[in-house]
Amino acid sequence: MPARDALSVVFAALADPTRRAILTHLQQGPSTAGDVAAPFAMSRSAISQHLKVLEDAGLIERTVTAQWRTCVLRTEPLDEVATWVDSHRRLWDERFDLLDERLRQLRERQGEAP
């Protein structure tokens, strides 16, 4: 399997609704793995797998202190996603503006009101 770039790994992690819900929970602050798992009707093993995917994507950091495993949100990968989306949004907006202008010109040629 070819190596995937960091942006692809983040998008793949964000593709799952459970993982997005975990990130939303972690916006409130650091949580233990048990607190993260509490609202979900799935095994701790399944939650652990989701946490592993998020950690591999750099979206969370897990620390172990004595018997406590704490999860902390990391926003840097989300900043990279936002930068990528913004750059593409500008391109898409420009193309839609050009399309709007072209449609306006076609309507004017056909005698339609704008």
Number of domains in the chain: 2
Q: Are residues 85 and 66 in the same domain?
A: no
What's the Cα-to-Cα distance from 61 to each of 11, 52, 76, 105, 108, rounded to whole Å? 17, 10, 12, 54, 58
Does pTM surpass 0.85?
no
Question: Using one digit for the tens of pLDDT, what is the confidence trace for 37-92?
Answer: 999 999 989 999 999 999 999 999 998 888 888 999 999 999 999 999 998 898 89
Do residues 58 and 12 lie in contact, with contact meaning Cβ atoms separated by under 8 Å? no
Q: Check: CB of residue 114 under 8 Å from CB of residue 44.
A: no
Q: Are residues 84 and 70 both part of a single domain? A: no
CATH number at residue 70: 1.10.10.10
Q: Binning pLDDT at 50, 70 and 90, where does residue 113 land? A: low
Q: Residue 24: what residue type?
A: T
H or E segment to which residue 89 belongs? helix 76-109
